[in-house]
Amino acid sequence: MPAASKLCEQAVQELFTQVHLRFTRQRYAIYHALASVHSHPTVDELFQMLAQANHDISLATVYNTLEALVKSGLVRKLSDGGTSARYDATVDDHLHVRDKNTGTVADVPADLGQRLLKTLPNEVLKQIEIELGFKINHVEIELVGEYASSKTHVA
Amino acid sequence: MPAASKLCEQAVQELFTQVHLRFTRQRYAIYHALASVHSHPTVDELFQMLAQANHDISLATVYNTLEALVKSGLVRKLSDGGTSARYDATVDDHLHVRDKNTGTVADVPADLGQRLLKTLPNEVLKQIEIELGFKINHVEIELVGEYASSKTHVA
DNA sequence: TTTCCTGCAAAAGCTTTGCAAGTAC
DNA sequence: GTACTTGCAAAGCTTTTGCAGGAAA
């Protein structure tokens, strides 16, 4: 499993080579930023982060690169509840928590997440694949709700 | 649980009253269309459906109404993998299957879905709520993959 | 050298909004 | 009668695209 454990240029370069992606300064910056951060940023948030870190990069490149990373399977595209997409450099199955009020997405601590994921009965998933003629690539679980403290603007 | 089992005007009107939504011809048409259909349409798909059924309605109203329905909890907003949102009139927890290639979302047959959902251990969910200070409103599970027959345009 | 990537700016989609007229309550 | 909805068109977002110059392999 190609986890983002080592983020030095060399490691990322190898990762890219494995999936036949050219290694560029911009792609490294984007992947590195995404893998270093625990939130699941939108394109624009990522763009801001990179801009502030003095990386000179264009918004279109962020879009293009993320699409390329998703296609290679190095990054996953998530739904935020709202208008724009969010991205996640962790591609193993894991749990997300989504705040209804803000759209932000956070990870559930690995141990708890695993406990929940491991309970999913494989034979049921297999049966779904057979009944629907559908190949499951991964399972996405989101706990939707709100933080106790975020009881702000609810209509 | 306010399920969309009876869709006559009266039933929907009651439903709306319960959640303090004014009952209008357009809102009825939108909710009825959404609840009658098994796919999980995008705003535009819904708008097309209504237009073809001779309902005279504006796109903005579809957006406004869906937002109102989501706020009242009568409808759920889903992520399609792509650019536009999808909507679902079934608010009980249930499983979705999302086709990577087309973005379409379908339901997993209720019996299979329930088998999977019932395995989720409540005590783990509770613990997540406590550890994160997060109130879980509902659980969203998506099986992402592709139909055996939809092996079309994959790069 | 060849092929792909980047950046810009322009275009295309999706969603929201202001406002006047209409409708539920 | 009052407050909320509708519909239109315009504005605001997010995302994609064409193309010329630049960089990786």
- pLDDT per position as a tens digit, B14-60: 999 999 999 999 999 999 999 999 899 999 999 999 998 878 899 99
Footprint of strand D on the protein (CB under 7 A): A 16-17, 22-25, 42-44, 59-60, 63-64, 67, 83-85; B 21-22, 24, 26-27, 56-58, 60-61, 64-65, 68, 82-83
User: Do residue A145 and residue B134 have CB atoms under 8 angstroms apart?
Assistant: yes
Averaged confidence pLDDT in chain A: 90
Q: Which residue is nearest to nucleotide C14 (CA to C1')?
A: B84
> pTM for the whole thing?
0.89
The strand ranges marked E within A74-148 are: 76-79, 85-88, 95-99, 105-107, 134-147
CB atoms within 10 A of CB B95: 23
Which residues in chain A have their CB less than 8 angstroms from residue B119's CB?
119-121, 124
What is the per-residue pLDDT across B55-88, written as a single tens digit (0 to 9) for each? 889 999 999 999 999 999 999 999 777 889 999 9
| Percent of chain B whose pLDDT exceeds 70 | 92
What CATH number belongs to A4-88? 1.10.10.10
User: Do residue B121 and residue A119 have CB atoms under 8 angstroms apart?
Assistant: yes
Rounded CA-CA distance B41/B33 in Å is 10
State whether residue B1 is helix, strand or coil. Answer: coil
Model pLDDT, residue A150: 52
Q: Per-domain residue ranges for chain A? A: 4-88, 96-145
- Taking residues B91-112, report their average pLDDT: 92
Q: How far is the CA of B26 from the C1' of D18 (A)?
A: 41
Options 3.40.50, 3.30.1490, 3.90.226, 2.60.120; CATH of A96-145 = 3.30.1490
Q: How far is the CA of B60 from the C1' of D11 (A)?
A: 14
Q: What are phi and psi of B30, to 5 degrees?
A: -65, -50
Residue A34 in tokens: 């995404």
Rounded CA-CA distance A61/A24 in Å is 11
Show which positions of strand C are touched by protein (CB under 7 A).
Answer: 4-10, 13-18, 23-25
